[in-house]
Amino acid sequence: QVQLVESGGGLVQPGGSLRLSCVASTSIFKMYAMAWYRQAPGKQRELVADITAGGITTYAESVKSRFTISRDNNKNTVYLQMNSLRPEDTAVYYCNLNYPGATFPGPSWGQGTQVTVSS
C-alpha cells in the first residue's frame, strides 16, 4: 500500500496562510488522483479539494477562492495552499490517494496534520 506523509500544519492567526505538503511513496504517483480531507472535532471527515492525474481540480464551496490544490509529479507531492484562513478551518487535514476515475475517498490515507486557526 502507498504510504502518504503530510507536513506543514501549525498554528496561524485568522487571515493567515499555510501550505500543506503530502509525499507519496510510489513510483507511479503521476497516475493517481489526490485529495485533501479535513476533520474537525465532533464532525465528519469532509473533502476539501481534489486533483486528477491530469491536473483538473475541484473544491468544496467553503474553501473556493481561498485554497489551492496542486501537484508536483517529479517530487511525488501534492500541496494545499491555504490563504485567508478562518477559525472554522481548524481541523486535522489528511491526504488521500485514489485510483484514476474512482470515487473518493481512495484506499490510502496519511496520518494527518493539525491546522489551528486562532488569535
At residue 66 the predicted structure's pLDDT band, cuts being 50, 70 and 90, is very high
At residue 1 the predicted structure's pLDDT band, cuts being 50, 70 and 90, is confident
**Residues 72, 80 contacting (CB under 8 angstroms):** no
Whole-number pLDDT of residue 78: 98
For residues 84 and 95, what is the distance between their CA atoms, to the nearest angstrom? Answer: 21
Of 49, 66, 69, 67, nearest in space to 58 by CA: 49
Average of per-residue pLDDT values in the chain: 96
The per-residue pLDDT for range 14-59, each reduced to its tens digit, is: 999 999 999 999 989 999 999 999 999 999 999 999 999 999 999 9
Mean pLDDT of the 86-115 span:
95
Of 109, 34, 25, nearest in space to 71 by CA: 34
Whole-number pLDDT of residue 101: 86
